[in-house]
Structure formats: C-alpha cells, structure tokens
C-alpha cells in the first residue's frame, strides 16, 4: 500500500461514520384545519431538527433554540444566560470577530438572538440561496465557540450587557417593576426570583471559566432544536444539517425541568419610589405552570377580567374615570405562571393606590357572581384564532411556533392544541380556577410612586426579600471536558451562495373611486387575511395655532365607538370577528388601519363605515380620552429618550415649526381642546376626497372596491392643506445639555437638518453613504462605541425625511462616565468618513447587503401594504425598486464621499445630551465646543 493511500485510510478510520437522521414525527396539511406541515428528525448526537418547507417567498428562516435560560443559572450568577447570548456573536473557530453578523448582513439577511427565563434562541432570515452558509455559521458556534473566546471579548460584552440593563431597566420609568415583583413572588432560590438581565454584581462575579463551563454544560446538540422554514429542498437541507451538525458530540444529558409553581403565605406589599409621573398598582397572583390543564381557564379569566375595553376592570375603573388604564393578563412560563393586574390611578380623581386597590379587589370579587358567559368564550376563541392565523403570515412566525412547541411541550403543534383547549373551556372550569388561585388568595402588591410620594402607596410595605445566600465561588464546582469535533471536510471554507434568487416585486392593481380616491392593491392568498390602510389628507399639518395634538385626540375619539356602539360593544364586535380597526394621525394624513380575516371582511368594513360616518363623540368619552392622553403625554416626558428626541427636534426644525413639536402635541394645547374642536377636525379632515388606499391580502379588486364604495358618499369639499416645510434655520452647533440628576446613562443625539425624501435621488444616495457609517451592526460607529469601547448597548446613524424636510442623526445611550469620549468618538468617525469616504471593502459589503435585502422585503401582508403605501403616497411606479438596484450597482466611492462631505461636517452638528449635569458639565468642556444648558422639554 502506498504511503498516501495509507494516510487517507487512517483519516477515514478516524472520522466517525454518521448515522442517517431518524424521522420521529410528521404533520401533513389537512384541509380546513389550522396547522403547519413539518417533518421532525433526530440526529445521532441528539439534535432535534424540524423542517417546514414553504415556497411562498424566496427566503429561509433558521432558528436554533437551546433549552437554557436564566432558570438554569446558579444563585449568585444571574444574567449569565443572557450574557452568554452576547458571546455567541463574537466569533468562533472558523468565523472571525463580528464576522457572523457581517456575513449575514452581506447576504442581505437579518439575524438576532433572544434570552428569556427558559430558553435562548438564535435566528437568521436570509435569501434562500444562502441556506448552506447560515447552517455552517450556526454549526460553527455550536461546535467551536470556545476556540475563539478571549478575555477582551468577555470584558467588552460584560460592559455591553451592563449598558443594556442601564438602558432598559435602571434608566427607564417602571424599569424595575419585574425585578421587584419577582423577588417577592418567588423564594430567593427559585430561578424566577431574578430577571434574565441579571444583577450587576452577579455579572461582575463571573469569569471566562464560568463561560466555558456554561457552554459545555448547556450548548450541546442534544439540548438544542434546529427549526428551518422557507424555500428549500428538504433532502438537500437535511444533508447539509447532517454534514455541519452531525459530527458535533453530545453534551451532558439535560433533564426536562420540573415545574415549580409557588404559593404565598400572605399578601406581600412593596413600594418602589421611581421617577414617574403616574403611580402604578401592580398585583401578581401565583398560579400554575406551562401546560397545566387549568392554564386555559386562567387565560380565559384574565381575558374577562382585564383583556379588552369591554373587560370588567376597564369598565369599572377606566370608564368610570377612577383609573387612566387598567388590565390583566395570565403569563405562563415553563416553571411557573402568574396572573398580573395593573392599574394607573387617575390623578384628577384620586392618585392614591390604596383606594385604587380597594376598587380592584371589588372588581375581582364581583367575578364570583358574573362568571364566564358563552359570549366571552366566543370572543376569546375568535381572538386567539385570528392571532394564530396572522402568526402564520411569515416563515419566521411559523418557525417560532414550531420551535417553541417542541422545546417546551415536545410537540411542534402545541400552539394549535392550545387554541383547541381554549375553545373547550367551560364556565365551571373558569370559576373553579378563579376560586383556587385568585379569590381571597395572597398576592404580591407593588406600589410604584413618584419619589417623595410614599403617602400614595397601597399599603405600608410588609415584606423585604431575604438576603441572597451565595455559595463559595472561589472554586468551580464542575470541570466539563472540551468536546472535540472530528470531520471529513474542511470547515474553514465558507460555503458559497447558491444561484441568485428571483425576487418578484408584488404584482399590483390600481383602482379609483369617485372623489379622486385612489386604490393600490396586491393579491396574496398565503393566509386568509387582508390588511388595509386608508390615508385621508390631514394629519398634524392640518392643526392650527393653539391646537397641537388635535389630530391625535380626534383619532383617539374615533376609536371610542359609534352612535350605535359604545367602546365596550365595539370591542366585543371586533373580538367576535377577530378583526382590528385603528385610527391614528401621521404627518400628512389621518390613517385608518384595518386587519381582517377574509371571511369577516364585509362585517369589518361595515364597522369602518359606521365609525367614520357616525362616530359616537360622547361627552364622557371625550373627558376620559383627553385625560388619558394628557396623562400619557406627561408620563412619556419622563423618559430620557423622549427628552433627547424632543430637544433635538426643536433645535433642528425650530420651536415654531410643527416638525419641531411632538407628534402628539403640546400639553398646553391639548388641555384647552374641546369636543367641538374634535368634531370640526373630523368634519374637515376625515373627508375621503383625495384619499389613498392600499390593500394587501386574500381579496380581489372587485370585492374591495365594492366594500369601500361607502367612502364616495361623504359630503363636503376636499380640504386645502399646506406643507410642513420649516421656515426657521436650525439652532447653532454646539452641545445642549439637559439635566437628569443621577442618571446612570447619558442619552446622546448628534445631527443636523438634511434633505427631504426622494426614492432615487440624493436622499437615497445619502442613505447608501450612511450604511457603513452607522446603518448596520457592523458599521463604524457601532463597532467603535459598542464592540471596541463597551460604552453602549448600541449606536446607529441615519437619514429620515418626509416630502418637505429631513434630518441626519446619530443616536446612542452611553455609560455616564463615557459620555465625553463617546461624543468625541462619533465626531471622529464623522470626520474620518467625510475625508476618506468608504473603502473598497465597504463598497462591496454595501452592494452585496443592500441589493439582496429585497428577498426579505415583501413577505408579510404588512410588508406588502407598507410597500404599496410608499408607492402611492410618493407617486412611485413599481419600477422604482429596479432603479434603486441600478443605482446601488453603479454608485461610486467618490459619489458617496461627496455625500459624506456634504452632510457629515462635525462643525455643523447639534449635540443633545440628557444626563447628570453636575457630573457632565465640566468634562464636556474638554470637547472645546459651546455648552448650552437646556430645561427639560
């Protein structure tokens, strides 16, 4: 035997022979039955594989779910599952740092990962020809993550997670509610007693050794489910999955978790002082665990108690003016479930949570006499059925349902069985669940009150969580050996993409009704549903002096019912149909948005006609709705992101410009608006003349034109409307500082006034220029501030515009002590990009990423409707997409550099900082820019 043949023989002997995947379950399409066809396989190493082919769009969606969340963490090492999710994006043996995201973006795809208490999932949606590549990527981090782990990556991502916590929890009104309730509802040793984001002190406690052990313990293929949906050939997909995943060794065996529902010995009262405008009463009752046969009955109880405008809580508290908002929900997780009730008191009536708690208790007690009626069951089943159908409108939606059913209930079709279970619930079962878990049972009662307002609390706190007893972590208690993968192929070679997919812009039809009402539609029968948007000329540009907020208030009033139907009865009708009708105000239009199942479309459109032509406009509804809006406005103004955004708008467009003011209006103006103002605005600006309508879904042109013919019967002339073009110059460049004492983060906005929208001109070119600067995860600004410095959870930049004006803006929430250098780094990136323009590598990345994104652009009905709305509002032909593609292919680095020179001059930038003035004012002087203190907007 010659030497080369001997070596080859030894190599083959060393490579394990992989057994063929085993088919373990299959679901075929059954006419008239809600289901998702799939085949489920299991590889020899324990990996569960679910394949759900769907040829409706030229894309695939891959989800890999590991059955590990924060519930698998050790006491004292909270937040580690989520922290580890971040580490999974930092490269693996054959994929460089940050390359995973770059490869997906370059392929025209999107990706992310999420962690909750019970699972962590990683997912990508890409054009169908990129399937082998994403399988290679996911397999590489399953089998080879530890080869690329470094201390530097570990520290950077630890800082990123801390920034995420600061942004979403510590610097956010009500951000600590979940944490405080969990600490009181569960014993300190229960894994639900801490949140997936974890405690900062625990994040500081872990090290790289913990990371490696976590990976080896939980990230084996036998603890994972791979779910693939979309346009692929199952035989080829299965062969690739076997090739890339089959040789990864099993991890330690993982037992299915045991349910750990809890009970309370007595009601526990807590109080949290926070920077909020409205107090919050939050009550949590412990119940069962996911999959418990009593779960559907508790879901039904929560729906009746507080799931809609016709619910008991809403009718008793909100309609009466005792609360601004109130509701209830039953939230189920793998180990335990809880039923939550929330209510915000109406400060105009009584801001005390003690009296509000008494009212809530009264409503809960009334259920004993009311019970559940047949009408409740009908509404619930139709609502849940419609939700399931809309969830099947995307490949991602289908994949998510299959994956979660398998991971938690060992049944990919669990969501549909759960729907069937809801339909079988009896009133007696609901009453029994209510008596067992809710009636006169202990709960956690949290009062969130403004700082210094403890007199508003529901009761004196009687519970303090026990101190956590932390084990000695000086020695690691487990030392799992690294797993070695043996392959018969070269994993370092990135798979090539298949032949380019054929992307078809949705075929459209055009219609026209009397009064110059244009309709643009597209037919899609993938799900039996229809999405409609009716744009009536008006919006915030129709508001006069002293009435900023009138467009928003009028839209809210139109949702309160008709002359025949009050808000509760309207809610009932919509739930029975499984439909949704919403009114809103935009910059140029008043919008009516309709979602309906196809077989219920005639009844849904009849309700649209009734609401538009015979609105209720009741005095009591106006008083309540106006107060709700005012309270919501005051609450939003406590958020640092809102403060930064509003200050930036005023500085860019001017205080006198409508674009310089909040879309929801000014508090001063809304306080003075009357019902007569609303009626006048409705009469003038809900006129369908010159309306633009887009329709996407399972309906033909003749049917929709007949269904919308009522719009032509509106009487009155079309309104005359002006523009939103600002007349004042933007504020002078410099730093504008808004004080938020003690803020753990600073919210930064940097930018300037730019150019109005166009689809194929300078605006489009400027957007292309921004792609590599701040328009994707791997952009210069985000890699600098997040991945290199660890200053922020994320940073981005971009152009936004309407037909009259536009803006360029950079945004980031950064660690307070990094504020000055974060601004310095952004300005440096602007200057460098302006001077040199994009590199050749960035040009290739841009062309590849943006060109291939179209494969994902027209999948869902909402995406199709959005595409049509863009076309009809800007009078674009369907060829504009092709023209954009040609621009992308032909644009030069010099052309993008010219756009950068035009828009990225740091000396022209307005900089807004919302943070602790006492800590920031002096350090900001280091930037040698004028600093102007501003009052909070």
The domains of the chain are located at 7-245, 268-372+425-456, 509-713, 734-866+876-934
Give the pair of three-digit tokens for residue 273.
């002082």
Does residue 477 carry a pLDDT above 60? Answer: no
pLDDT of residue 499: 92
When pLDDT is averaged across residues 94-114 and rounded to a whole number, the result is: 95
Give the pair of three-digit tokens for residue 49.
């594989």
Q: Which helix (H) or strand (E) holds 159?
A: helix 151-165
pLDDT of residue 9: 34
> What fold is seen in the domain 268-372+425-456?
Cytochrome Bc1 Complex; Chain A, domain 1 (3.30.830)
Question: Phi and psi (nearest 5°) for 25?
Answer: -165, 155
Give the pair of three-digit tokens for residue 654.
């001017």
| Residue 20 pLDDT grade (very low, low, confident, very high; cuts 50, 70, 90) | confident
- Mean pLDDT check: name the lowest of 30-39, 281-290, 761-770, 863-872: 30-39
When pLDDT is averaged across residues 855-870 and rounded to a whole number, the result is: 95
| Residue 188 pLDDT grade (very low, low, confident, very high; cuts 50, 70, 90) | very high
Does residue 3 carry a pLDDT above 60? Answer: no
Contact 814, 163 (CB under 8 A): yes
- pTM, 2 dp: 0.94
Does residue 14 carry a pLDDT above 70? Answer: no
| Residue 503 pLDDT grade (very low, low, confident, very high; cuts 50, 70, 90) | confident
Question: Phi and psi (nearest 5°) for 740?
Answer: -135, 85
- In whole angstroms, give the CA distance from residue 428 to residue 435: 11
CB atoms near residue 571 (< 10 Å): 20
- Mean pLDDT check: name the lowest of 115-119, 236-240, 349-353: 349-353
Q: What percent of the chain has pLDDT over 90?
A: 92
| Residue 16 pLDDT grade (very low, low, confident, very high; cuts 50, 70, 90) | low
397 alpha carbon, distance to own chain's centre? 14
- Mean pLDDT check: name the lowest of 358-372, 531-545, 707-721: 707-721
Q: What percent of the chain has pLDDT over 70?
A: 97
The domain 734-866+876-934 is placed in CATH, from the list 3.30.465.10, 3.30.830.10, 3.30.70.20, 1.10.10.10, at: 3.30.830.10
Highest mean pLDDT among 19-28, 477-486, 641-650: 641-650
The torsion region of residue 411 among left (phi > 0), alpha (psi -120 to 50) and beta comes to beta
pLDDT of residue 716: 83
Does residue 4 carry a pLDDT above 60? Answer: no
Residue of 635, 280, 266 whose CA lies nearest to 456:
280
When pLDDT is averaged across residues 915-934 and rounded to a whole number, the result is: 96
pLDDT of residue 470: 87
> What fold is seen in the domain 7-245?
Cytochrome Bc1 Complex; Chain A, domain 1 (3.30.830)
**Is-same-fold flag (7-245; 509-713)?**
yes
The CATH homologous superfamily to which domain 509-713 belongs is Metalloenzyme, LuxS/M16 peptidase-like (3.30.830.10)
Residue of 324, 322, 316, 310 whose CA lies nearest to 364:
316
Beta strand residue intervals within 586-669, DSSP E: 589-597
Q: Looking at the chain, how many residues does it have? A: 937
Degrees, nearest 5: CA angle 183-327-641: 70
- In whole angstroms, give the CA distance from residue 63 to residue 60: 10
When pLDDT is averaged across residues 373-391 and rounded to a whole number, the result is: 92
pLDDT of residue 62: 98
- In whole angstroms, give the CA distance from residue 660 to residue 668: 16
Does residue 15 carry a pLDDT above 80? Answer: no
pLDDT of residue 715: 85
Which residue do the tokens 């939606």 mark? Answer: 397
């Amino acid at each position: 035997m010659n030497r080369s043949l001997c070596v080859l023989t030894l190599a083959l002997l060393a490579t394990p022979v992989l057994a063929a995947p085993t088919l373990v379950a299959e679901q075929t399409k059954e006419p008239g039955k809600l289901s998702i066809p799939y085949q489920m396989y299991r590889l020899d190493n324990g990996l569960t594989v679910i394949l759900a082919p769907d040829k409706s769009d030229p894309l695939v969606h891959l989800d890999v779910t590991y059955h590990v969340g924060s519930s698998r963490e050790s006491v004292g090492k909270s937040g580690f599952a989520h922290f580890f999710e971040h580490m999974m994006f930092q490269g693996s043996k054959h994929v460089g740092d940050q390359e995973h995201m770059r490869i997906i973006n370059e392929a025209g795809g999107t990706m992310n990962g999420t962690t909750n208490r019970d699972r962590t999932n990683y997912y990508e949606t890409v054009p169908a020809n990129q399937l082998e590549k994403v399988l290679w990527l996911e397999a590489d981090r399953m089998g080879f993550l530890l080869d690329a782990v470094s201390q530097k990556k570990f520290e950077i991502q630890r800082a990123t997670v801390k920034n995420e916590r600061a942004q979403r929890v510590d610097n956010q009104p009500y951000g600590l509610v979940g944490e405080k309730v969990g600490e009181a509802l569960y014993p300190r040793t229960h894994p639900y007693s801490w949140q997936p984001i974890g405690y900062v002190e625990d994040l500081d406690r872990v090290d790289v050794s913990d990371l490696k052990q976590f990976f080896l313990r939980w990230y084996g293929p036998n603890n994972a489910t791979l779910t693939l949906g979309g346009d692929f050939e199952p035989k080829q997909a299965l062969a690739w999955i076997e090739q890339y995943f089959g040789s990864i060794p099993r991890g330690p065996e993982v037992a299915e978790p045991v349910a750990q529902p809890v009970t309370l010995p007595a009601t526990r009262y807590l109080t949290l002082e926070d920077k909020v405008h409205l107090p919050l009463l939050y009550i949590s009752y412990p119940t069962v665990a996911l999959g418990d046969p009593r779960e559907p009955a508790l879901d039904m109880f929560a729906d009746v108690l507080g799931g809609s405008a016709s619910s008991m809580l809403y009718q008793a508290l909100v309609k009466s003016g005792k609360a601004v908002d109130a509701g209830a929900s039953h939230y189920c997780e793998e180990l335990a479930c809880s039923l939550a009730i929330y209510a915000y008191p109406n400060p105009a009536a009584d801001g005390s949570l003690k009296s509000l708690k008494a009212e809530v208790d009264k409503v809960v007690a009334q259920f004993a006499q009311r019970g559940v009626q047949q009408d409740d069951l009908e509404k619930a089943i139709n609502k849940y059925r419609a939700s399931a159908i809309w969830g099947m409108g995307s490949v991602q939606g289908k994949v998510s349902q299959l994956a979660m059913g398998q991971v938690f209930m060992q049944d990919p079709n669990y969501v549909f069985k759960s729907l069937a279970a809801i339909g079988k619930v009896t009133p007696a079962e609901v009453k029994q669940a209510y008596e067992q878990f809710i009636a006169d049972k202990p709960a956690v009662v949290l009062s969130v009150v403004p700082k210094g307002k403890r007199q508003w609390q529901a009761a004196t706190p009687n519970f303090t969580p026990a101190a956590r007893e932390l084990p000695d972590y000086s020695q690691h208690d487990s030392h799992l050996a690294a797993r070695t993968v043996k392959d018969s192929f070269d994993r370092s070679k990135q798979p090539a993409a298949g032949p380019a997919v054929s992307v078809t812009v949705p075929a459209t039809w055009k219609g026209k009704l009397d009064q110059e009402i244009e309709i643009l539609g597209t037919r899609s029968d993938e799900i039996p549903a229809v999405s409609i948007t009716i744009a009536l000329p008006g919006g915030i540009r129709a508001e006069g002096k002293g009435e900023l907020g009138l467009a928003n208030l009028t839209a809210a009033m139109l949702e309160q019912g008709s002359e025949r139907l009050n808000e509760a009865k309207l809610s009932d009708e919509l739930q029975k149909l499984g439909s949704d009708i919403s009114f809103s105000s935009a910059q140029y239009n008043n919008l009516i948005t309709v979602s309906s199942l196809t077989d219920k479309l005639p009844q849904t459109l009849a309700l649209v006609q009734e609401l538009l032509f015979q609105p209720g406009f009741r005095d009591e509804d106006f008083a309540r709705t106006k107060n709700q809006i005012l309270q919501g406005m005051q609450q939003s103004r406590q958020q640092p992101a809102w403060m930064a955004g509003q200050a930036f708008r005023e500085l860019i467009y001017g205080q006198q410009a409508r674009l310089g003011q909040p879309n929801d209006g000014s508090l001063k103006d809304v306080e003075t608006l009357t019902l007569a103002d609303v009626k006048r605005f409705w009469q003038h600006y809900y006129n369908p003349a010159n309306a633009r309508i887009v329709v996407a879904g399972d309906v033909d042109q003749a049917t929709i034109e007949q269904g919308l013919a009522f719009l032509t019967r509106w009487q009155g002339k079309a309104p005359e409307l002006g523009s939103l073009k600002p007349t004042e110059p933007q504020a002078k460049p410099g730093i504008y500082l808004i004080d938020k004492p003690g803020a753990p983060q600073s919210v930064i906005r940097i930018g300037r006034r730019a150019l109005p929208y166009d689809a194929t001109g300078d605006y489009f070119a400027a957007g292309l220029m921004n792609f590599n600067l701040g328009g994707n995860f791997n952009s210069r600004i985000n890699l600098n501030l997040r991945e290199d410095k660890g200053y922020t959870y994320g940073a981005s930049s971009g152009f936004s515009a309407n037909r009259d004006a536009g803006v360029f803006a950079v945004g980031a929430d950064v660690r307070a002590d990094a504020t000055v250098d974060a601004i310095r780094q952004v300005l440096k990136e602007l200057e460098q990009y302006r001077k040199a323009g994009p590199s050749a590598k960035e040009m290739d990345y841009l062309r590849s990423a943006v060109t291939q994104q179209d494969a994902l652009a027209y999948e869902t009905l909402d995406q199709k409707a959005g595409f049509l709305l863009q076309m009809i509002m800007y009078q674009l032909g369907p060829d504009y997409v092709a023209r954009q593609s040609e621009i992308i292919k032909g644009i030069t680095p010099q052309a993008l550099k010219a756009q950068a020179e035009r828009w990225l001059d740091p000396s022209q930038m307005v900089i807004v900082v919302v943070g602790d003035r006492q800590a920031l004012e002096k350090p900001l002087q280091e930037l040698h820019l004028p600093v102007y203190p501003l009052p909070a907007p």
